[in-house]
Amino acid sequence: MSTAPAATKIWDQNATPKHRIQWCPGCGDFGVLAGLKMALAKLELLPHEVLMVGGIGCSGQIRNYLNGNGFHGTHGGALAYALGAKMANPSLTVITLAGDGDTLAIGIENFVHICRRDPAVALIIMNNGVYGLTKGQNSPTYGLGMDIKEYSEEAPPYVDPTRLAIVSGATFVAQSFSGNPKHCAEIYAEAFRHPGFALVNDFSPCVTYNKFNSYDWYKEHVEDIPKDHDPSDKTAAWALLDDFDRRGRLPLGVIYRAPRRKQAHQRLPLWEEELAKADPEPLFRLFR
Ligand code: SF4
Ligand code: MG
């Protein structure tokens, strides 16, 4: 029997009432939250089957707004915690929810190496080009779409997480726009089902501190990936990114998905049986 209606009800009931959410009204992260709930319900996942790992920043708070299992770690560390959790319990659906500053500045080494390792962990970057929580300093993705003639140490070029992920070995690379939560849900569901590391770079406007990359700006610049694009072809994925760049457009959908299939956790150094034999007591004592 399908658990879809039950799953939908559970994620809706588990959600924090809107008035207790601390994001600014209109923040793009509301769209990500809506898409996330729809994706979890669509996959008929129940809260005990999911771990949401939040990064630090406005985006990381999303983990507090759904009562599934959650973990909130240090700045830049979300992917490391997610990987550890997946190694300890491979049956969990592990979803990392982090910002652009968190992932692509202090956390960039975790990002590159998780792309290389390719564990079955998903990452949604709520990309807004700024550090919203600390009042809007430029992040590594600041400058998207701006006509910047000359870069400087203070204003270096935009870091494109999709290109970085592909060159680093990621096996699922996609983009979404939080102004369209239904489309987000489709892409997130694909990412959560992917048997390796799955990146979704979500354009999520910061309505308070990034006045350039607004909803209207995104609506003019996003464009669905053509239906005839073959995401399993890495050369085609690269050509697609170049083509969209040339035309000043941002592709939405699955850019690259490696054709192979694998049991990801079997390639990791710490297996379930090894963990079962480990004695965590000395470690726990340090925290008592
Ligand atoms: Fe959202 Fe920006 Fe407000 Fe943070 S500061 S909650 S990212 S709109
Ligand atoms: Mg940000």
In tens, the pLDDT along 238-279 reads 999 999 999 999 999 999 999 876 655 554 555 566 667 778
Ligand 1, atom 1: nearest CA belongs to which residue? 27
Distance 1 CA to ligand 2 centre (A): 41
User: In sequence order, what are the beta bridge partners of 131?
Assistant: 137
Give me the pLDDT at residue 288, please.
77
pLDDT for 3 equals 57
Query: Which ligand places an atom closest to the C-alpha of 205?
Result: 1
Q: Note the pLDDT of residue 283.
A: 79
Q: For strands 130-131 and 222-224, give the pairing.
A: unpaired
Terminal-to-terminal C-alpha distance of the chain: 44
Q: What is the pLDDT of residue 265?
A: 54
Q: Within a 10 A sphere around the Cβ of 211, how many other Cβ atoms? A: 11
Question: Could you give the C-alpha distances from 94 to 47, 109, 192, 221, in angstroms and in order?
Answer: 11, 19, 8, 31
The pLDDT, as a whole number, for residue 262 is 65
Q: Residue 173 phi/psi, 5° resolution?
A: -135, 120
Assessment of whether the complete model's pTM goes beyond 0.85: yes
Answer yes or no: are the C-beta atoms of 241 and 162 closer than 8 Å: yes
Lining ligand 1 with CB less than 6 A are 23-24, 27, 29, 58, 128, 132, 206-209
Q: Are 173 and 118 in contact (CB under 8 A)?
A: no
Closest residue by Cα to atom 2, ligand 1, is: 206
Residue range 42-70, pLDDT digits in tens: 999 999 999 999 999 999 999 999 988 99
Give me the DSSP letters along 117-173. Answer: H--SEEEEEEE-SEETTTT-EE-TTTTTT---SS--SSSPPPP-HHHHHHHHT-SEE
Q: Which ligand is nearest to the CA of 209?
A: 1
Residues of the chain falling short of pLDDT 50: 1, 267
Alpha-carbon distances, residue 70 vs 20, 49, 82 (angstroms):
18, 11, 10
Q: How far, in Å, from the CA of 225 to the mean position of ligand 2? A: 24
Note the ligand closest to the C-alpha atom of 127. 2
Question: What number does the ligand 1 atom closest to the CA of 26 have?
Answer: 8
Q: What is the pLDDT of residue 273?
A: 67
- Ligand 1 centroid to 68 CA: how many Å? 23
